[in-house]
C-alpha cells in the first residue's frame, strides 16, 4: 500500500472521539454489570440474550486463565499494549475506509479490555447469546467491537487502478 500524507488535526480528533466513545460505552456497561448483575442473571427474548457476570483473567473463552499471573501480565497487558501502540502507529497512514475503521474499532475494543486488565487483573464479561443448539462464550461490548473490526479488516476491498 502506498502511504498517503499524514493525518491533519481534524482527522485525528475524529478518530480519537470515536475511540473515546466506544471505550466509554464499554467501561460504562462493565461498571453497570459489576453493580447490577452480582448474584443474579437476566434473560431476554426467550433466553436468546442472557446477562451473566463473569471476570475473565484469560483471553477468548478463558484461554490462559490458568497461567502464572506474571505470564498473563506479559501476554495480556504488556504485549497487548505494544500491539495497540502499533495499531495506533498504523493509523497515521490514510487507508481505505473499511481498513481504517477496522483499525479504529480494533484499537477501541483493545483499549476497553486493556483498561480492565491493568486496573483489575481481569476483564468483565456479561453478555451471552444462546441459540439452543449453539451459543457464545460470555463477552462484553469491547469484544463485540473487536469482532466488528476483524470483519471489516477481512472483507475484500476493491482495488483501484491507477489512471495514467
Q: Are 127 and 49 in contact (CB under 8 A)?
A: yes
Q: Are 54 and 125 in contact (CB under 8 A)?
A: yes
Residue with grid cell 459489576, as numbered in its chain:
34
- Residue 125 is a catalytic residue: yes
Provide the pLDDT for residue 2: 52
Provide the pLDDT for residue 58: 86
How far apart, in whole angstroms, are the C-alpha atoms of residue 82 and residue 100? 19
Kindly name the residue from 26, 68, 116, 125 that is annotated as catalytic: 125
Tell me if the pTM is above 0.75.
Answer: yes
Q: What are the sequence ranges of the domains in the chain?
A: 9-35+48-154
Helix axes 80-90, 97-120, angle to 10 degrees: 150
How far apart, in whole angstroms, are the C-alpha atoms of residue 78 and residue 127? 26
Kindly name the residue from 26, 68, 130, 143 that is annotated as catalytic: 143
Band (10; pLDDT cuts 50, 70, 90): confident
pLDDT at 5 over 60: no
- Residue 68 is a catalytic residue: no
pLDDT at 151 over 60: yes
Mean pLDDT of 110-125: 95
Amino acid at each position: 500500500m502506498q502511504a498517503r500524507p499524514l493525518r491533519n488535526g481534524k482527522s485525528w480528533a475524529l478518530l480519537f472521539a470515536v475511540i473515546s466513545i466506544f471505550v466509554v460505552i464499554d467501561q460504562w456497561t462493565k461498571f453497570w454489570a459489576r453493580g447490577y448483575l452480582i448474584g443474579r442473571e437476566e434473560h431476554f427474548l426467550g433466553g436468546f440474550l442472557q446477562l451473566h457476570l463473569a471476570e475473565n483473567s484469560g483471553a477468548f473463552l478463558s484461554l490462559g486463565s490458568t497461567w502464572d499471573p506474571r505470564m498473563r501480565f506479559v501476554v495480556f497487558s504488556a504485549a497487548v499494549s505494544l500491539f495497540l501502540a502499533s495499531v495506533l502507529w498504523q493509523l497515521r497512514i490514510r487507508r481505505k475506509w473499511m481498513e481504517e475503521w477496522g483499525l479504529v474499532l480494533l484499537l477501541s475494543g483493545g483499549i476497553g479490555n486493556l483498561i480492565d486488565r491493568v486496573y483489575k487483573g481481569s476483564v468483565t464479561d456479561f453478555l451471552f447469546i444462546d441459540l439452543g443448539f449453539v451459543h457464545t462464550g460470555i463477552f462484553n461490548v469491547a469484544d463485540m467491537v473487536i469482532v466488528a473490526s476483524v470483519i471489516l479488516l477481512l472483507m475484500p476491498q476493491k482495488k483501484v487502478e491507477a489512471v495514467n
